[in-house]
């Protein structure tokens, strides 16, 4: 049962409201069992998140071995060249007509703002494989790699690999290696032109494709884990009120 707040302009709760709130009170033994069920779900969620962090680190290690080490002495291997980010990827603004006000709890797709994937939205404008860069504010320059179709909103840049030149995995891991130039002091921001002209090493496509096969395997596992995490979170969030109200009971061990 929800507590009722006082006030019309500034809603507030008092100690009296909270202390007077009616709640169901399972036995201590059942409370322990409920806590164990919820803790088990949280542990599984945390484990999958740690696995995804490890998978991202493995991808970065592969990238460094494949593409960073060969250029460590400043000499490019045969067939490699210096180019710009705009030569290997299409860079564009996120949808400047959309803000977080476009988000909806029932949205089918991920919404990505300058703070990252932080909402749901009704339509998708970008496929999996498109990277997003925060373009303004405290997060300016931070890179995100959505693992589902999404829409990028205002104050973001999208970076899509050019087919036949680069790949999603290469672009994603390349951006993770670099700090893109920012303008402004009080309110830092990224310029689309500066980002397009940012100098990068461009290996032969054959090398990029060889590495992409490994990136794809790791990315697929990350996606599987994310689906499992979303399922577990939904289960936990729907189960919690049912357990606390007594609608669903758990067995008591001992």
- Which CATH number fits the domain that encloses residue 121? 3.90.220.20
Residue 2 lies in a domain: no
pLDDT at 113: 97
pLDDT at 16: 59
Q: Per residue in 92-121, pLDDT tens?
A: 999 999 999 999 999 999 999 999 999 999
DSSP conformation class of 77: P
Who's near 51: CB < 8 A, 6+ residues apart? 221, 225
Average pLDDT, the chain: 88
157-185: b (≥16 Cβ within 10 Å) or e: bbbbbeeeebbbbbbbbbbeeeebeeeee
174 or 247, which is more confident: 174
Is there a single domain that holds both residue 94 and residue 155? yes
pLDDT at 89: 98
Is there a single domain that holds both residue 74 and residue 85? no
Residue 60 lies in a domain: yes
Is there a single domain that holds both residue 120 and residue 193? yes
CA proximity to 119, closest of 154, 143, 92:
154
- From CA 208, how far away is CA 189, in angstroms rounded? 30
Residue 9 lies in a domain: no
CA proximity to 205, closest of 38, 22, 29, 83:
83
Is there a single domain that holds both residue 67 and residue 138? no
**Domain termination site, one of 160, 175, 201:** 201
pLDDT at 33: 76
Tokens of 189: 């921001």
Kindly indicate the confidence band of residue 149, based on its pLDDT and cuts at 50, 70 and 90.
Answer: very high
Kindly indicate the confidence band of residue 138, based on its pLDDT and cuts at 50, 70 and 90.
Answer: confident
- From CA 53, how far away is CA 60, in angstroms rounded? 11
Q: Per residue in 19-48, pLDDT tens?
A: 655 656 667 777 777 788 888 999 999 999
Distances in Å between the alpha carbon of 212 and those of 18, 129, 133?
55, 12, 21
Supply the pTM of this predicted model: 0.79
The total domain count for the chain is 2
Kindly indicate the confidence band of residue 247, based on its pLDDT and cuts at 50, 70 and 90.
Answer: low
Is there a single domain that holds both residue 163 and residue 89? yes
Residue 240 lies in a domain: yes
Distances in Å between the alpha carbon of 83 and those of 43, 80, 138, 171, 202?
45, 10, 28, 13, 6
The parent domain of residue 113 ranges over: 81-201
pLDDT greater than 60 at residue 3: no
Distances in Å between the alpha carbon of 75 and those of 78, 81, 132, 178?
9, 10, 30, 19
- Which CATH number fits the domain that encloses residue 230? 1.10.287
pLDDT at 164: 94
- Answer yes or no: are the C-beta atoms of 56 and 222 closer than 8 Å: yes
Q: Per residue in 176-227, pLDDT tens?
A: 999 999 999 889 999 999 999 999 999 999 999 999 999 999 999 999 999 9
Q: What percent of the chain has pLDDT over 90?
A: 72
- Can you spell out the DSSP letters for 7-49? -SSS-B--HHHHHT-------HHHHHHHHHHHHHHHHHHHHHH
């Amino acid at each position: 049962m929800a507590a009722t707040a006082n006030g019309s302009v500034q809603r507030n709760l008092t100690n009296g409201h909270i202390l007077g709130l009616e709640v169901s009170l399972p036995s201590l033994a059942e409370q322990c069992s409920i806590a164990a069920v919820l803790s088990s779900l949280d542990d599984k969620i945390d484990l999958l998140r740690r696995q995804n962090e490890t998978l991202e680190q493995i991808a970065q290690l592969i990238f460094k071995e494949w593409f960073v080490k060969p250029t460590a002495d400043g000499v490019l291997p045969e067939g490699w060249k210096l180019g710009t980010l705009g030569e290997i990827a299409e860079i564009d603004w996120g949808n400047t007509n959309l803000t977080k006000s476009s988000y909806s709890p029932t949205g089918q797709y991920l919404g990505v703002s300058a703070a990252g994937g932080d909402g749901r939205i009704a339509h998708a404008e970008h496929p999996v494989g498109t990277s997003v860069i925060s373009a303004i504010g405290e997060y300016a320059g931070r890179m995100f790699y959505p693992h589902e179709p999404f829409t990028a909103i205002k104050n973001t840049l999208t970076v899509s690999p050019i087919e036949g030149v680069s790949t999603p995995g290469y672009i994603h891991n390349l951006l993770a290696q670099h700090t893109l130039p920012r303008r402004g002091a009080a309110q830092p921001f990224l310029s689309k032109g500066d980002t397009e002209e940012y100098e990068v090493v461009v290996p032969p496509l054959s090398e990029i494709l060889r590495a992409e096969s490994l990136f794809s395997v790791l990315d697929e596992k990350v996606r599987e884990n994310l689906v499992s995490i979303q399922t577990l979170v939904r289960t936990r969030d729907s189960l919690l009120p049912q357990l606390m109200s007594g609608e669903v009971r758990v067995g008591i061990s001992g």
